[in-house]
């Protein structure tokens, strides 16, 4: 178990109606970080399944911050950050993580070690999919934007069998919010999660890229690994063969869809060299990949 002492570490977990999943995650966090090593904060976004009582019973040291049911991911995170801001100071760090991930052994310890080595960097963990009986494969390992024609380049393409690279740190333009460590100085410098433009998806990518534009390093730590819970990950598709017109329309408009056109347009307007061109290219590439290159039965 880690006894990390360099500044205060806040573990921030947004949650809504995932009592059992959350309690299992809290146990995994405390197996790696003691109460002396990190304050554990859960923002309960109006759960009705007994999350508060169950979490406190499972992990007495947890701090529960009450939110409300109409909070999406970004608002819930910001609610927790306001709570942290009451006591945070320079040198502190926030470990932001989802409530439904499975932590690899020492994932949190490794990420804090990485932060010790790069104290002014925003650093994320590698996201892995490991289905029963199959080889572990990359879901996310960082990459770089093409803000002209949306031909983004992943450090390691999604679906590649996972092999830890020789280099510990991989430079990236964006991070996913499943697990990342943020120096408090980044918030003091004006970095933040935009709940108006990105209420559910893309807020983590926008935060990371915004931090990079403000001069912070943005890195993936290849020694810190989390496993994606596919059962709780929202699934949408722009494949007409899978969902028909209704499925495609839902993917483009659903608040919790990574294909939501409004959130994509907000990102394009903020960062793309030619926003309209970027949007046409982005969705054109996705439509081709999902309707031409990828079989509908996949």
Q: What is the pLDDT of residues 59-80, one digit of tens each?
A: 999 999 999 989 999 999 999 9
pLDDT at 232: 82
- Return the minimum-mean-pLDDT range out of 23-32, 90-99, 174-183, 226-235: 226-235
Separation in Å, CA 251 to CA 11, 178, 181, 201, 281: 32, 21, 30, 12, 17
pLDDT reported for residue 294: 61
Share of the chain residues as helix, strand and coil, in percent rounded to the nearest 5:
35, 20, 45
Highest-confidence range of 52-56, 108-112, 239-243, 290-294, by mean pLDDT? 108-112
On the question of pLDDT at 210 being above 50, the answer is yes
Residue 6: band (very low, low, confident or very high) from pLDDT cuts 50, 70, 90 = low
Nearest-Å Rg of the Cα atoms of the chain is: 19
Would you say residue 4 has pLDDT above 50?
no
pLDDT at 106: 94
DSSP letter at 17 equals S
User: What confidence score (pLDDT) does residue 2 get?
Assistant: 42
Mean pLDDT of the chain: 93
User: Averaged over 138-144, what is the pLDDT?
Assistant: 97
**Both tokens assigned to 141:** 């390992």
Report d(CA 255, CA 264) in Å as an integer. 12
Mean pLDDT of 263-291: 96
Measured CA to CA in angstroms, residue 276 lies from 198, 210, 269, 281 at distances of 19, 21, 8, 9
Share of the chain above pLDDT 90, in %: 87
**Whose CA is closest to 177, among 29, 44, 31, 77?**
77
Residue 203 has pLDDT above 60, yes or no: yes
What phi-psi label fits residue 106: left (phi over 0), alpha (psi between -120 and 50 degrees) or beta? left
């Amino acid at each position: 178990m880690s006894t990390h002492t360099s500044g205060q570490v806040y573990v921030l977990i947004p949650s809504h109606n995932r009592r059992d999943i959350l309690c299992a995650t809290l146990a995994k966090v405390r197996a790696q970080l003691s109460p002396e090593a990190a304050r554990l904060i859960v923002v309960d976004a109006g759960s009705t399944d007994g999350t508060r009582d169950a979490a406190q019973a499972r992990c007495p040291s947890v701090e529960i911050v009450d939110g409300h049911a109409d909070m999406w991911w970004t608002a819930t995170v910001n609610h927790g950050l306001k709570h942290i801001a009451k006591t945070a100071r320079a040198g502190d760090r926030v470990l932001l993580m989802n409530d439904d991930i499975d932590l690899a052994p020492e994932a949190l310890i490794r990420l804090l070690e990485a932060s010790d080595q790069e104290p002014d960097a925003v650093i994320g963990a590698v996201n892995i999919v490991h289905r029963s009986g199959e080889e572990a494969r990359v879901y996310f390992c960082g990459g770089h934007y093409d803000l002209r024609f949306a031909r983004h380049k992943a450090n390691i393409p999604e679906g590649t069998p996972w092999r830890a690279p020789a280099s510990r740190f991989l430079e990236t333009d964006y991070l996913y919010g499943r697990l990342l460590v943020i120096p408090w100085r980044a918030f003091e410098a004006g970095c933040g999660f935009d709940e108006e433009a990105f209420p559910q998806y893309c807020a983590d990518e926008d935060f990371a890229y915004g931090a990079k534009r403000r001069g912070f390093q943005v890195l993936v730590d290849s020694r810190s690994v989390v496993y994606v819970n596919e059962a709780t990950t929202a699934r949408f598709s722009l494949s007409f063969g899978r969902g028909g017109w209704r499925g495609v329309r839902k993917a483009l408009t659903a608040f919790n869809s990574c294909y939501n056109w409004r959130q994509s347009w907000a990102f394009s307007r903020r960062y793309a060299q030619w926003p309209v061109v970027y949007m046409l290219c982005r969705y054109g590439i996705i439509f081709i990949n999902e309707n031409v290159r990828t079989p509908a039965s996949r």
